[in-house]
């Protein structure tokens, strides 16, 4: 009769069903975890090592990061070095394919160099998209070497540079060769590449001179305090203070003059910086004539030999070439004169919103004019919006060179800080990775430097997958690299 009792069987069935439910939950948890699990295979380790080197992370640090997941099974530094070296060798063959597309598209570029020991790396960057057009280890930085780099940019119109003679001579050589080639082929003469002195270096020289003015003022203050100490010492000793008191008064007078001059130099330097900007403090479009006149007047208020180099740089016509280029782009806007003026004036307010902020009568007038300009631009339809976009595009890189190049130099400098050597292969790896990596924030968000320049890329391949292709395979890829227009 006990065997026929259903209660024990029902209890056992309920127990088994409960156990089955727990096992199903366990299986589901394991399946969910499996989706998040990444098998760190040798190929993934190689990708990790190559990415670390491209970003400037040392192999030792890369191994310690991998050890967080792999523990004692993490590959050695030597193995990571072999992985990254193999990737760098493959990367050396691909930039030429991308350069065929990127370099003819560059109309404006910035040039500078960075050193590894005695060897320079000649750096050329397209400013708008931060596309790294050239990064070649060179035996020197003279005009001939720079000409080799610049002549690869067949459609270059404007080069922003510092005051180095090598880049200047290289630019002159390229312009001369362009003219000679046009004469030999009997075709219309191409425009010479315009040269622009970088405001970054010019203003850095000004800040250097300002620090010397500051040092002079601080030394004068210290000397005045010492003179005061000597006078007080004489007083404590009950001795005559006549000569010491006179020296202290004169020392404090010199200190006050030095501090006033420092303050004046600082104010003048800021006014010169404003005079070089594309828009004046009043919100009007700047011009070469206005900038040269303002800078000439302001430079006369600087005193001291330390300002000599700064003043010589400001006196060079190339310092204002960006304003000529900006004026030409404004003149070329495909809209009527009233709409063109509205685009320029409204952009001046956008560059400095303080002109229309506040409760004053002038600010109220500016807000009213801003509305009128907006109506004019809107009335022009798509042409008005295109004119606004073209002007903002022209303003992106006015007067910038080293500030663009230094952004890439910072990646190379991580390697420079640890080693005195840089191989061509590693440089190619960094350049390829930098040009394919998408920007994370800002107006360039979710685009890469190559994409900003208009270079078509395979949409379905990551940078690591591209690195596995040969140049012929990359050219043959159906979604990549048609002939540049």
Residue 483 has pLDDT above 50, yes or no: no
119-126 and 194-197 beta bridge pairing: unpaired
Backbone angles phi, psi at 227, to 5 degrees: -65, -35
Closest CA to 388 of 447, 445, 329: 329
pTM, 2 dp? 0.78
Judge whether 328 lies within some domain: no
Q: Which residue has the tokens 């631009």?
A: 377
Q: What is the mean pLDDT of residues 29-43?
A: 73
Residues 464 and 427 in one domain: yes
Residues 282 and 359 in one domain: no
Residues 307 and 211 in one domain: yes
Q: What is the mean pLDDT of residues 465-471?
A: 86
CB atoms within 10 A of CB 315: 12
Residue 405 has pLDDT above 80, yes or no: no
Residue 481 has pLDDT above 60, yes or no: no
446 is written with which tokens? 């979710």
Q: Which residue has the tokens 């509205």?
A: 342
- pLDDT recorded at residue 208: 94
Judge whether 61 lies within some domain: yes
Residue 242 has pLDDT above 50, yes or no: yes
Answer with the one of 45, 65, 89 that is the final residue of a domain: 89
Residues 126 and 161 in one domain: yes
Rounded mean pLDDT of the chain?
Answer: 85
Number of structural domains the chain divides into? 4
Which residues is 113 bridged to in the sheet? 122
Judge whether 364 lies within some domain: yes
Judge whether 484 lies within some domain: no
- pLDDT recorded at residue 400: 58
Residues 390 and 404 in one domain: no
Q: For the ranges 10-19, 64-73, 201-210, 423-432, which has the lowest average pLDDT?
A: 10-19
- pLDDT recorded at residue 40: 79
pLDDT digit string, tens, across residues 75-93: 999 999 999 889 988 888 8
Residue 485 has pLDDT above 50, yes or no: no
Answer with the one of 56, 89, 122 that is the final residue of a domain: 89
Q: 333 — alpha (psi -120 to 50), left (phi > 0) or beta? A: beta
Residue 296 has pLDDT above 90, yes or no: yes
- pLDDT recorded at residue 403: 65
- pLDDT recorded at residue 118: 80
Secondary structure, 3-state, the chain: CCCCCHHHHHHHHHHHHHHHHHHHHHHHHHHHHHHHCCCCCHHHHHHHHHHHHHHCCCHHHHHHHHHHHHHHHCCCHHHHHHHHHHHHHHHCCCHHHHHHHHHHHCCEEEEEEEEECCEEEEEEEECCCCEEEEEEECCCCCHHHHHHHHCCCCCCCEEEECCCHHHHHHHHHHHHHHHHHHHHHCCCCCCCCEEEECHHHHHHHHHHHHHHHHHHHHHHHHHHHHHHHHHHHHHHCCCCCHHHHHHHHHHHHHHHHHHHHHHHHHHHHHHHHHHCCCECCCCCECCHHHHHHHHHHHHCCCCCHHHHHHHHHHHCHHHHHHHHHHHHHHHCCCCCHHHHHHHHHHHHHHHCHHHHCCCCHHHHHHHHHHHHHHHHHHHCCHHHHHHHHHHHHHHCCCCCCHHHHHHHHHHHHHHHHHCCCCCHHHHHHHHHHHHHCCECCCCCECCCHHHHHCCCCCCCCCHHHHHCCCHHHHHHCCCCCCCCC
* 212 within 8 A of 306, measured Cβ to Cβ: yes
Answer with the one of 89, 117, 148 that is the final residue of a domain: 89
Residues 186 and 287 in one domain: no
- What domain range includes position 376? 333-395
Cα gap 442→478, rounded to integer Å = 31
46-60, 206-220, 239-253, 462-476 — which one is most confidently predicted on average? Answer: 206-220
406 is written with which tokens? 């230094």
Cα gap 347→329, rounded to integer Å = 14
* 282 within 8 A of 345, measured Cβ to Cβ: no
Q: For the ranges 88-97, 122-131, 236-245, 378-387, which has the lowest average pLDDT?
A: 236-245
Cα gap 477→485, rounded to integer Å = 19
The CATH number that applies at residue 157 is 3.30.420.10
Which residues is 180 bridged to in the sheet? none
- pLDDT recorded at residue 206: 93
400 is written with which tokens? 């910038």
Judge whether 424 lies within some domain: yes
Dihedral (CA of 163, 166, 168, 171) sign: negative
Residues 99 and 85 in one domain: no
Residues 221 and 314 in one domain: yes
- pLDDT recorded at residue 4: 63
Distance of CA 118 to the CA centre of its chain: 24
- pLDDT recorded at residue 325: 87
Residues 391 and 404 in one domain: no
Closest CA to 435 of 443, 478, 444: 444
Residues 30 and 73 in one domain: yes
pLDDT digit string, tens, across residues 256-280: 999 999 999 999 999 999 999 999 8
Residues 129 and 50 in one domain: no
108-116 and 158-161 beta bridge pairing: parallel
Radius of gyration of the chain from its Cα atoms, rounded to whole angstroms? 32
Judge whether 40 lies within some domain: yes
Residues 296 and 375 in one domain: no
pLDDT digit string, tens, across residues 4-34: 667 777 788 888 888 888 888 888 877 776 6
Judge whether 482 lies within some domain: no
Judge whether 167 lies within some domain: yes
């Amino acid at each position: 009769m006990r065997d026929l009792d259903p209660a024990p069987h029902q209890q056992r069935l309920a127990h088994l069903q409960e156990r089955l439910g727990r096992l199903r939950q366990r299986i589901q948890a394991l399946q969910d975890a499996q989706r998040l699990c990444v098998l760190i295979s040798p190929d993934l380790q190689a990708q990790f090592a190559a990415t670390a080197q491209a970003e400037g992370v040392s192999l030792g640090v890369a191994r310690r990061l991998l050890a967080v997941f792999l523990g004692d099974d993490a590959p050695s530094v030597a193995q990571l070095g072999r992985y990254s070296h193999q990737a760098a060798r493959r990367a050396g063959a691909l930039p030429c394919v991308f350069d065929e597309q990127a370099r003819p598209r560059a109309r404006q570029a910035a040039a500078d160099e960075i050193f590894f020991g005695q060897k320079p790396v000649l750096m050329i960057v397209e400013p708008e998209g931060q596309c790294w057009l050239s990064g070649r280890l060179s035996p020197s930085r003279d005009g001939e070497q720079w000409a080799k780099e610049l002549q690869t940019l067949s459609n270059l119109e404007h080069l922003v540079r510092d005051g180095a003679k090598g880049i200047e001579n290289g630019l002159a050589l390229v312009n001369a060769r362009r003219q000679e080639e046009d004469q030999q082929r009997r075709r219309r003469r191409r425009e010479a590449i315009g040269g622009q002195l970088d405001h970054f270096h010019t203003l850095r020289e000004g800040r250097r001179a300002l620090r010397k003015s500051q040092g002079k003022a601080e030394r004068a203050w210290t000397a005045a305090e010492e003179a005061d100490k000597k006078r007080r010492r004489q007083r404590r000793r009950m001795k005559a203070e006549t000569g010491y008191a006179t020296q202290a008064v004169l020392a404090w007078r010199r200190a006050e003059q030095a501090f006033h001059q420092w303050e004046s130099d600082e104010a003048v330097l800021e006014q010169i910086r404003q005079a070089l900007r594309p828009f004046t403090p009043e919100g009007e479009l700047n011009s070469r004539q206005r900038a040269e006149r303002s800078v000439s007047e302001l430079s006369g208020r600087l005193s001291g030999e330390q300002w000599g180099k700064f003043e010589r740089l400001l006196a060079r016509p190339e310092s204002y070439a960006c304003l000529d280029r900006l004026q030409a782009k404004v003149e070329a806007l495909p809209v009527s004169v009233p709409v063109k003026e509205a685009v320029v004036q409204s952009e001046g307010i956008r560059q400095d919103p303080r002109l229309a902020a506040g409760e004053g009568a002038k600010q109220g007038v500016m807000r009213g004019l801003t509305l009128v300009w907006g109506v004019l631009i809107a009335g022009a339809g798509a042409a008005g919006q295109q004119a606004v976009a073209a002007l903002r595009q022209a303003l992106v890189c006015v007067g910038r060179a080293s500030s663009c190049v230094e952004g890439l130099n910072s990646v190379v400098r991580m390697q420079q800080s640890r080693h005195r050597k840089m191989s061509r292969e590693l440089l190619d790896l960094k350049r390829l990775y930098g040009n394919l990596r998408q920007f994370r924030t800002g107006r360039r968000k979710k685009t890469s430097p190559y994409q900003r320049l208009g270079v078509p890329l395979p949409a379905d391949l990551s940078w690591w997958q591209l690195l596995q292709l040969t140049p012929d395979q990359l050219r043959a890829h159906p979604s990549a690299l048609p002939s540049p227009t």
